[in-house]
Amino acid sequence: MRSVMVTGGAGFIGANFVHYWIDRYPDDRLIVLDALTYAGNQANLEPVQKQANFRFVHGNILDRALISTLMREEGIDTIVHFAAESHVDRSIHEPDAFIQTNVIGTHNLLMAARELWLDSDKAPAAHRFHHVSTDEVYGSLRADDAAFTEATPYAPNSPYAASKASSDHLVRSYHHTFGLEVTTSNCSNNYGPYQFPEKLIPLMIVNALTGQPLPIYGDGKNIRDWLYVTDHCRGIDLVISKGRLGATYNIGGNNEWQNIDIVKQVCASLDSIFAGNEELSTRFPDAPAAKGRKSESLITFVKDRLGHDWRYAIDATLATSELGYAPRQSFETGIELTLNWMLENENWWRAVMDGSYRDWISKNY
């Protein structure tokens, strides 16, 4: 039985990971440490909240004393580190929190892990620090460039990407210098249940349902490589179970789309779900689809993101050959799962959107 601390477990990927892990490893103890920023939501953990092997701790990774106490109290032997400021647009407007949480917060966790796992007589028999990172650390690709491999030099372009790159380097250094048993995964764009509706796919779904403009930055030709969130969780599990200590693994979907095409695809899927469905048309009277019009009529081209990376693409050959990683959801099935989840969980997205998110948007745009 492992005692696993999941930082950022009330956020999008962290919450999906918690559900995945409890289902797959029911004998493990799982402790979520989350500061519940605007992006964290305890409702995301509601299905597991009352399980005996689960504990939620409302706390900040900037609080090093809290991390150390919690690690000793719970005999933590595994850390899966998701907690981060994760939205590129916010990092352009307010970078400071990204440096605090993503860089200083990660270093706090590494210091606490080193203290308990390497420098104390309470060290568990085995330990692991898994760091969840992003493909954005590699910078931007041109159309004919090969996809990012683990050997691609780092070239982060946004304050978000730079803060994640810094955290990756710190994790690497704690392995090289102190022998901390670490692994890192760098993943492409995720989508799926519980994603905060400031990111492209859930924002487009919510706006199409509520009859608001679908803002496309620039000409909409930027490319991202999309992965259903549970496939990311399975990839992390494989890295933790079979990955080489000190190694990094790229995780991706082999699924590149221009933004404009992805938005049109989401719109077309929504239109076909609405067709002939009276109940949906009554629930969402402002949706174009409720009136037999195309959702894509809401598409609006807006000013481009500053420093907007043009293309990301992941080469996951290493994870496939060493760990047997392969995504299970196609883009069609993943989008269908996501749309159905959003339609069944209207209360969830309405609740997360009527708070600080709206205030922030109105202040910055």
Chain residues in the site for ligand DAU (CB under 6 A): 86-88, 134-136, 188-189, 199-200, 203, 215-217, 222, 224, 259, 305, 312
Q: How far is the CB of 84 from ligand DAU (least distance, A)?
A: 7
- Give alpha helix (H) positions in the chain: 12-24, 64-74, 88-93, 96-98, 106-117, 159-178, 200-210, 229-242, 259-274, 278-283, 317-323, 331-344, 346-353, 356-364
Tokens 């060493």 identify what position? 322
Binding to ligand NAD (CB under 6 A) within 60-119 occurs at: 60-62, 82-86, 101, 105
Q: Is 312 a catalytic residue?
A: no
Burial-class residue 273 by CB neighbours within 10 Å (0-12, 13-18, 19+). Answer: middle
Q: How far is the CB of 87 from ligand DAU (least distance, A)?
A: 5
Name which position in 166, 183, 190, 259 contacts ligand NAD (CB under 6 A): 190
Binding partner of residue 182 among ligand DAU, ligand NAD, none, CB under 5 to 8 Å per kind? none
Tokens 């009277």 identify what position? 285
Six-digit token string for 76? 């933590």
- Give alpha helix (H) positions in 85-228: 88-93, 96-98, 106-117, 159-178, 200-210
Closer CB to ligand NAD, residue 29 or residue 87?
Answer: 87
240 binds ligand NAD (CB under 6 A): no
**Residue of 77, 89, 136, 296 marked catalytic:** 136
- By rule CB under 6 A, what string of x and - marks binding of each residue 143-172 to ligand NAD? ---------------------x--------
Which is it for the CA torsion 249, 253, 254, 257, positive or negative? negative
Closer CB to ligand NAD, residue 91 or residue 207?
Answer: 91
SS3 content of the chain, % helix, strand, coil (to 5): 50, 15, 35
Q: How far is the CB of 71 from ligand NAD (least distance, A)?
A: 14
> Which residue(s) pair with 132 in the sheet?
185
> Which residue(s) pair with 258 in the sheet?
223
Q: Is 136 a catalytic residue?
A: yes
- By rule CB under 6 A, what string of x and - marks binding of each residue 2-21 to ligand NAD? -----xx-xxxxx-------
In the three-class reduction of DSSP (H, G, I as helix; E, B as strand; rest coil), residue 140 is classed as coil
State the residue number with the nearest CB to ligand DAU. Answer: 134
Binding partner of residue 216 among ligand NAD, ligand DAU, none, CB under 5 to 8 Å per kind? ligand DAU
User: Which of the ranges 33-41, 67-75, 118-126, 336-344 carries the binding residues for ligand NAD, by CB under 6 A?
Assistant: 33-41
Indicate the angle between helix axes 200-210 and 259-274, nearest 10 degrees.
Answer: 40
Select from 193, 205, 226 the least CA-distant residue to 331: 226
Closer CB to ligand NAD, residue 11 or residue 243?
Answer: 11
| Angle of CA points 59, 62, 65, to nearest 5° | 75
Closer CB to ligand NAD, residue 185 or residue 284?
Answer: 185
| CA–CA dist 121, 115 (Å, integer) | 10
Closer CB to ligand DAU, residue 108 or residue 259?
Answer: 259
Q: Is 365 a catalytic residue?
A: no
Closer CB to ligand NAD, residue 7 or residue 320?
Answer: 7
Residues that bind ligand NAD (CB under 6 A): 7-8, 10-14, 34-37, 39-40, 60-62, 82-86, 101, 105, 132, 134, 164, 187, 189-190, 196
Q: Which residues are catalytic?
A: 135-136, 160
